[in-house]
Amino acid sequence: MEISCFSIFFVLLLVHCFMASSAVAVRTNITTDKSALLALKSHINDPNKILASNWSTSTSVCNWVGIKCGAKHLRVTSLNLSHMGLSGTIAPQIGNLTFLFNLSFRNNNFHGSLPNELASLRRLEVVSFGLNNFSGMLPSWLGFLPKLQVLYAYTNSFEGSIPESIGNLSSLKVLHLSENNLSGVIPQSLGNCTSLEIIHLDDNNFTGEIPLEIGALQNLTEVTLANNSLADHIPDAIFNSSKIEVISLYMNQLSGHLPPSIGNWLPNLKVLYLWGNELEGIIPSSISNASMLVELELGANYFSGSIPNTLGNLRHLERLNLVNNYLTSNSSTLELSFLSLLTNCVNLTSIVVAGNPLNGTLPISIGNFSTSLEEFEAFDCNIKGIIPREIGNLSNLMTLHLENNELVGPIPSTVGGMRNLQGLYLQHNRLKRSIPKGICQLRNLDELFLNHNKLFGPIPTCWGSLSKLQKLYLNSNKLTSIPSSFWSLIEILQINLSSNSLSGYLPLDVGKLEHVTQMDLSWNKLSGDIHAIRGLCSLVSLSLAHNKFQGPIPQSFGKLISMEHLDLSDNNFSAEIPKSLMKLKCLKYFNVSFNRLQGEIPYGGAIAQFSASSFMGNQALCGPPQLKVPPCETSNVGQSTTTIIERYILPAMIATILALFLICALLRRQKRDTKHNGQGDLLALATWRRITYLELEQATDGFRESNLVGKGSFGSVYKGMLSDGTSIAVKVFNLNIEGGFKSFKAECDILCSIRHRNLVKIISSCSRIDFKALVLEYMPKGSLKKWLYSHNHFLDMIERLHMMIDVASSLEYLHHGCPLPVVHCDLKPSNILLNKDMVAHVSDFGISKFLGNEESITQTMTLATIGYMAPEYGSQGTISTRGDVYSYGILLLETFTRKSPTDEMFTEEMSLKDWRHLKRGQT
């Protein structure tokens, strides 16, 4: 009975299946395609309204945007929705587009996993899911699409391992799965995909060995597996594929030696990146037989032995990076002979050999490098001897790093020949004599480090021509005087002249250095008063310690509101410590010890945090007992004195304060005016750390699409990694659109002048005429928006609360903690970024504003985001800190309710605010 029941059921099932399949076979036609596409459309959120009216039922499917049909059978053969700003999921009905051979969802914001119904698209040749938010496993049916040639799934959130079935794809040419969360070992079956030409698996969590089988693929031209956790040896066979052009395996844990014949079988290799691994042994001289090599980067490994002289045979070489290994130079001569031979490589732009015990001298032939050389880095190399005069021939060099070596002799007078030099780093050597005048010809120099040498004599009088200088370190030498032209370096940000033998006064011209943030003149013999410094309102750190300065500490120091570190110790300062110093809110270090100060210590504000050692050695100071000074005699002030104070001193003081206040207000206004009108080039401030365009290009793999993490009206954001391993986000501004340059400048101005743990930190900026970019701290966890709305992310209430506290504290800082209040103007979930510890950081200051003295300013040029924008801003363009508070309120509601203020449910009558009231009413 049971059995017969079961068999009847089984038969029914078969019949049903048969009917169903025959029905499909019969019925699929262009109408099937149409209904499949309409189903797809109904699952899509289309904010740019690209499909909305175009995919209309009244027109032929074949005329729809993104659709192509076959010429004969009139069925949909190509569905290409790339780069349309779409989101949503992929409807399973797509599996009915059985004639499809080209399917692309590239560069949208689709989420969810890939529906299994796609397995029936047996004609597929090109599939692209790249640059979306897809998640889940890579389905194993991908391996059963018999004609598949190209599979792009890069920059998504796919996880799990690559299905073993991939090995069935005998036609597969391109496999691009970079930037996902894929893990496990790379399947050996890939070796069965004998048509493979390109494999990109970078930026995942793959472990284990690189399968030997990959090396055997005869058609391979590119294999990039960088930034995974691959270990063990690199299969020798990878270095024996005659077609290969790119091998990129950097940032893994690969170990072992390079095969001795490495270059003999690589006739087409152009790029070899093996840096950041655990490779050891020598660099085989056969590498020079890979004669097409353009970029060779083997830094940060354990390579030893000598740098092969044969590198000079690589005629196409442009970049050589061997940083941080144990490499030496050919021991037969003291000269670094490999450098002489490299002069044959006429296209070389960058040589980085720093951090190797080279132990030799710089050859004279260094002057024979071609004019293409832009970067030469050989710091920490035990380089001995002198700097050859011929170095002046390198007329296109932009960066010269020779610091931390054992160089002796003078800085050659020919140095001025390096006309394009932007950074010159010769610190920590034993260079002698005076600084040559030739240095004044380096008009593009923005960083000059000559500290910790034995240079003596005056600083050359021509110094004023170094007008682009931003960082100047001449400390720990034996320099004797500062020329007056020195103080015309108006772009300068950091000056260190400490520990020299400088004497003389500070002229009033010092006040022209209005951007300077750090100034250290300590341990010299400077004298006179320091009134000239009072106008340097950007100062964050000032040390004048151990000099012979005298006179009072200017009252106006209270205006140096950014000051964090103020050291005036061991001078001859006299009179009282001005009370205005209590206004320096940011002070973290304060020292006026060993002077001749007297009177009451203004022990309030930030000064109250310092102890006796900040004030010791001043005989006539008085104040609270914990400062180990006698108490001030205020108690026995007689009645008559009080009246004197009331009658005369108090009014005078009030008048003075009022006057000061007015002056301050005027100065502030003036400063703001120059900022707004005169191009007051604050861009300069951004260069905390110099990063060249080349470095950015390298860090982002040539601004490769796979490194694109975001796109907006302003331009694009790429993620990248600097050669020292710092993860960065590079925000490249689109200068072709109106306001592109403005938003770069706005963001730069603001980010450069503020710092807070909940604000995205700026690392550098890169500004060329045709290229403007900001280099920011990389936030690996993405935006709050992603965490709120994408399906594979979840935030619990406590996490949300913490984030909202983070945002609030950054707002508090922006509005009240900065020298000038900053209004963000565009607070919303997509501008809140999360670091790896889920700490929220406010970003995107492209339309932010500094607030002046007035409460608000009227501004009509830029518009914030609908839904978050305060009503008065929206209607009148009034900007105020209150507008940010409004946006914060909306953000708060959204974060806890997961309802966006632009959600469809909020019609014109109901806003997110009202919805919350409603909900509360119901419960």
Ligand X SMILES: *[C@@H]1O[C@H](CO)[C@@H](O)[C@H](O)[C@H]1NC(C)=O
Active site residues: 826
Q: Report in angstroms how near the CB of residue 677 gets to ligand X at its nearest.
A: 43
Using DSSP's 3-state secondary structure scheme, residue 213 falls into: helix
188 versus 488: smaller Cβ distance to ligand X: 188
Cβ proximity to ligand X, 312 vs 901, nearer residue: 312
Q: Least distance from C-beta 104 to ligand X, angstroms?
A: 4
Residues sharing a CB contact under 8 Å with residue 615, sequence separation 6 or more, in sequence order:
592, 593, 597, 601, 621, 623, 627, 628, 629
CA distance 729 to 835: 12
CB of 399 to ligand X, least distance (A): 23
CB-based contacts of 373, cutoff 8 Å, min separation 6? 348, 349, 350, 351, 394, 396, 397
- Residue that the structure tokens 């070389």 belong to: 348
**Minimum CB–partner distance for residue 707 and ligand X (Å):** 18
Rounded to whole angstroms, the Cα distance separating 748 from 430 reads 38
Neighbours of 409 (CB within 10 A): 14
Say how many C-beta atoms besides its own lie within 10 A of residue 480's C-beta. Answer: 17
Reading the block at residue 297, the tokens are 């980067």
Q: How far apart are CA 47 and CA 896, in angstroms?
A: 24
Q: Residue 511 in 3-state DSSP? A: helix
Distance in Å, CB of 126 to ligand X, minimum: 5
Other CB atoms closer than 10 Å to residue 755's CB: what's the count? 14
- Of 145, 96, 91, 143, whose CA–CA distance to 113 is shortest? 91
Phi, psi of 626 (to 5 degrees): -65, -15
* Tokens matching residue 33: 């395609």
CA 560-564-568 angle, to 5 degrees, is 80
Judged by DSSP in three states, 914 sits in helix
Tell me which residue of 384, 402, 502, 492 sits closest to 447, measured CA to CA.
Answer: 492
Comparing CB distances to ligand X, the nearer of 236 and 903 is 236
Measured from the CB of residue 85, what is the shortest distance to ligand X in angstroms? 13
Report in angstroms how near the CB of residue 44 gets to ligand X at its nearest. 16
Locate tokens 């300068």: which residue? Answer: 492
Distance between CA atoms of 499 and 471, rounded to whole angstroms?
Answer: 17
Q: In this structure, are strands 87-88 and 44-45 parallel, antiparallel, or unpaired? A: antiparallel
Q: Is 336 or 788 the residue whose CB approaches ligand X more closely? A: 336
**Residue 233 or 785: which CB sits closer to ligand X?**
233
User: For ligand X, which residue has the nearest CB?
Assistant: 167
Tokens of 24: 């499909």
User: Cα Rg for the chain, rounded, in angstroms?
Assistant: 34
222 membership: H or E segment, kind and range: strand 222-224
Q: Which is nearer to ligand X, 95 or 599 (CB)?
A: 95
Question: Minimum distance between the CB of residue 169 and ligand X, rounded to whole angstroms?
Answer: 9
Tokens for 817, please give them: 């903690």
CA 445/CA 470 separation, integer angstroms:
8
Instruction: Give the span between the Cα atoms of 376 and 321, in whole angstroms.
Output: 10
274: left (phi over 0), alpha (psi -120 to 50) or beta: alpha
Q: Least distance (Å) from ligand X to the CB of residue 378?
A: 18
Whichever of 189 and 476 has its CB closer to ligand X, that residue is 189
Helix, strand, coil percent values for the chain (each to nearest 5): 30, 20, 50
Residue 387 or 474 having the CB closest to ligand X: 387
Q: Which is nearer to ligand X, 84 or 448 (CB)?
A: 84
- Shortest spacing between CB 249 and ligand X, in angstroms: 18
Contact at 8 Å (CB) between 402 and 430? no
**Sites of contact with ligand X (CB under 6 A):** 27, 32, 35, 54, 56, 59, 63-65, 80, 82, 92-93, 95-96, 102, 104, 117, 126, 128, 164, 167-168, 189, 192, 236, 240, 261, 264-265, 285-286, 288-289, 310, 364-365, 368
**Residue placing its CB nearer to ligand X in the complex, 368 or 480:** 368
